[in-house]
Structure 1
Amino acid sequence: MKNYTAIDLFCGAGGLTCGLEQAGFRVLAGVELLDIAAETYRHNHKRTLLLEDDICNLSPAEVMSALGLKPGELSLLAGCPPCQGFSSLRTRNKKSSVDDRRNDLVFEFVRWVKVFLPKCVMLENVPALAKDIRMTSAIAQLEDLGYRIGDSNLRIDDISDYGIPQRRKRMIFTASRFGAVEQPKPAEAKTTVKEAIAWLPKAGYSGDPLHDLPDNRSEKVNKMISLVPKDGGSRSDLPLEYWLECHKRYPNGFRDVYGRMSWNDVSPTITGGCHNPSKGRFLHPEENRAITLREAALLQTFPKDYYFSLRRGKDSAALMIGNALPPDFIRQQGEVILKHLESLN
């Protein structure tokens, strides 16, 4: 098989790299600014050159030279620029564009494309970016570089349609200089929470640090959790005496908090608060606890032994997991790009 190469910009803890490697790409380099994410990435992807710096400070021409590449030789340039500026909470006022420096990082992606001229590009992000003027400008610049962009190249996917055990909408953009890139075919059936995590040993006794970190909650909150009905119950099912004051004041707000996942459904979107039941429907379907970090990582489709640094504690690791791209979703995108590249030979 021919050697297909990729670079992962804004690589975080490595979800995109993991998925591309599963698809068959050799990821030559990754770029990541945050040290804890870089530590996690380096531990899992030891053979990939990691550039731990602000992407704005890096010269793509110097990186290309260091990798021994010439313009047009790289198979795929991929990335997910930090998207907090486009998050649903930041754009709830119906404006898709927010005054946030991170929103302009899509143009850093384009800057690297202009130098490397990769055969294919893949950009992943939150849905709001798709309608923003920055994305329109980026696409126009890529078209000027000769990338073929059809109607299906920019789309919003719910990853649960592709067998990921999680409800999560993402923007995915792919393009090639050599014709149309197909999109993956949806899965025939959803993958459930039960299929993803029910096989794990009991939390606290597994020997896996991500699965054994204990919860630390007040007696009142533990009692409230114990009363939430198993397998999909919600805080609204609790007697009023156990409602928190904020829930009494706003009974229809954030209804998923302190809710349980359902065994036979997909999970809600795994976020950086995935270990905290006050942040969403993150209670285990049966046990009186929030899901563990390992369970969250499995719902994100990371391999069962994927390493996440706990050097900065549980919150930091949860944020890396919640911010990551689900590897199996990326694997499926990568496979259709690989098929396209193989058709060129």
Structure 2
Amino acid sequence: MKQYTVVDLFCGAGGFSEGFHQAGFKILRAYDIWEPAIKTHNKNHFNYGKDIATKYDVYKLSTLPRDLFELEVPDSDVIIGSPPCVAFSNSNKSGKGNKELGIKLLKSFLRVVARKKFKENSILKYWMLENVKNIEKYIQDSYTMAELGLPGFDVLKVKKIGTGVYDLQDYGVPSSRKRYICGDFVKPEKCEITKSLGVVTESLGEPGTLDESLVRDPNFDIVLKRNQLTDHHYKKEIPEFEWQKAKRQKMDKGYMGVMSFPEKMERPARTIMATMSGSSRESMILDYSKDSDDRYRYPTIREVATCMSFPIDYRFYGDSDSVKYKLVGNAVPPLFSYSLAKAIAKQDQCYLPSEALLKSFAVEDGFVNLNGEIFPLKEEQTKKPNAKFKYHVPYLKIDAFRAELLNSFNNENVEWVAEIHKGQGKSAKVYKDFEFSLDFLSKFEFSIISEFIDKMSSQIESFERLQEIYIKTTQQRENECLIGPEELLEGLKHLINNNFDNHNDNVEILELNISIPQKILISHFILSELISVIGSCEKSKIMNL
């Protein structure tokens, strides 16, 4: 049976190649510019002892003179590639980042495809491009040779049958990851079973269990002894100041929905990112152990790699966990790639291995195994003097309304303001400096508010002092019993919950032609009055209201 050949552009750690390799395709050549990715690809894939991946700028590769281009890029049946997606990702300035470089690299990939497809006696049958779903709006249906900077009158059709956004968990990948695929390919078949994060962690076992019990790969038919798993037998704990921030981001973002904290094991893992973080909304956070309370850890490299469907014998050649994490997070999940390759193999009756293809590595090949690594607990650092703050009263969101406290800088002078926010994105609304009445409050409730403002203002004193306290570490603030903006909002939350919980109606604000919940107005009023006091260093005239 015939065996198709593959060229991989922007190959990264080799996830795209790995899927085709497991489906029996022969990887001829791969290109990238990042040394750890090239090394990882070469150590996991080789042809007769020769390196497959080479360091090459794909843009320069795509513009080589014909003779050099043909010398550098072998003819193949398939071309695959995943140009860097940062320019198109929603995480890049909320999707508003500069797209110029991304489009340049996209065209570089298409230029290579066109040069191979439209050459005389071409053998290229299939090609496919993988990227974030947001790239769809920046890819044309087709490109003329002139648009790709090439001679001739051929037209490269890009959006053909099967083109679209794929949810990779539908193809056996144990994580939620939506990707856009275009090109000339066979649409893959979906899997009937969705794999969860719990399946991954149960298969791999507790990190540090160095025994000879067997581990069965949840993605490929591979079995290893547990003590043969690399990059798994260690624990890296997330410090409390980081996971507390992540918890707020996940469960109380303000204008976004609630996310699980820690991860829900019965669902596919969240999208694996390229940056390892323990303090963001996208952070993947696991319980430190089954018996621990309020202790959390990062997933091991083996756990995230398996969530991305890399075989459990695949190795990542980075000298730190952050480099290895990036290698994994930037990759195309091999199981999805395998689905694409298998669809081609079945249609064209190509060779398709009946068993998973195992890896073999030299004893001394520069691999850094994180097993047994001891990671010191990260210490919180003081913030920069001009650190920005923007947050609402914790867990107080009503009909998308929230009372926010934020700072800004005029030269080196800091100012604090209170605002009411509603919604997100283009439909977001911000309300400040408007008139409203709190005539629904009793005198006793006003006295409670006055007492709270007096207490807080006596400890905060001024805008500058509030900023000085804010930039200190959590531990410093606790040791010195200081009230910073986070403690202020936390105190305000308790004040509202304990004293104003029965104020569930809305108030019509004629000036704004909008109805705002009473608790939000009360919170905004308190913050505004407090800011007025500490901004002017005068006591509030609140009792005269």
TM range (shorter): 0.7 to 0.9
The match for 2:313 among 305, 310, 328 is: 305
Give the aligned CA root-mean-square deviation in angstroms: 3.2
The match for 1:198 among 196, 202, 216 is: 202
Aligned to 1:259: 261
TM-score w.r.t. structure 2 length?
Answer: 0.51
Q: Are the equivalent residues in 2 in contact too, given 1:129–1:135 (CA < 8 A)?
A: no
Aligned to 1:153: 162
Change (3 A) 1:80 1:150: closer
Aligned to 1:103: 103
Give CA-to-partner distance per residue, 1:64-88, whole Å, 9 cap, x none. 3367x5xxx5210110000100001
The match for 1:321 among 328, 347, 371 is: 328
Q: Are the equivalent residues in 1 in contact too, given 2:160–2:183 (CA < 8 A)?
A: no
Matches within 5 A, 1:278-297: 278-284=280-286, 287=289, 288-297=296-305
Q: Are the equivalent residues in 2 in contact too, given 1:160–1:167 (CA < 8 A)?
A: yes
Once the two structures are TM-superposed, the CA of residue 115 in structure 1 deviates from its matched residue by: 2.4
CA distance in 1, matches of 2:311, 2:252: 42
CA distance in 2, matches of 1:247, 1:26: 43
Change (3 A) 1:163 1:33: same
Once the two structures are TM-superposed, the CA of residue 304 in structure 1 deviates from its matched residue by: 0.3
Aligned to 2:2: 2
Which structure has the highest strand share of the two? 2
Residue type of the alignment partner of 2:262: R
Residue type of the alignment partner of 1:104: K
SS at match of 1:92: helix
SS at match of 1:198: helix
SS at match of 1:174: strand
Matches within 5 A, 1:1-345: 1-47=1-47, 48-58=51-61, 59=64, 61-62=67-68, 64-65=70-71, 74-90=76-92, 92=94, 98-117=98-117, 118-132=124-138, 134-138=139-143, 145=154, 152-175=161-184, 181-206=185-210, 207=227, 208-218=229-239, 235=247, 250-252=253-255, 255-256=258-259, 259-274=261-276, 276=278, 278-284=280-286, 287=289, 288-311=296-319, 313-342=320-349
CA distance in 2, matches of 1:248, 1:66: 51
Flag structure 1 segments of 5+ consecutive residues without an equivalent. Answer: 176-180, 226-233, 236-242
Change (3 A) 1:249 1:335: closer
Which structure has the highest helix share of the two? 1
TM-score w.r.t. structure 1 length?
Answer: 0.78
CA distance in 1, matches of 2:164, 2:23: 21
CA distance in 2, matches of 1:6, 1:217: 41
Once the two structures are TM-superposed, the CA of residue 194 in structure 1 deviates from its matched residue by: 2.2
CA distance in 1, matches of 2:23, 2:144: 25
CA distance in 1, matches of 2:235, 2:199: 23
Flag structure 2 segments of 5+ consecutive residues without an equivalent. Answer: 118-123, 211-226, 290-295, 351-545
Q: Which has the higher contact order (CA 8 A, sep 6+)?
A: 1
Q: Are the equivalent residues in 2 in contact too, given 1:274–1:280 (CA < 8 A)?
A: no
Give CA-to-partner distance per residue, 1:20-40, whole Å, 9 cap, x none. 111221010000101111111
Q: Are the equivalent residues in 1 in contact too, given 2:19–2:334 (CA < 8 A)?
A: yes
SS at match of 1:62: helix
Residue type of the alignment partner of 2:176: R
Give CA-to-partner distance per residue, 1:189-219, whole Å, 9 cap, x none. 2112222231213213445441134315435
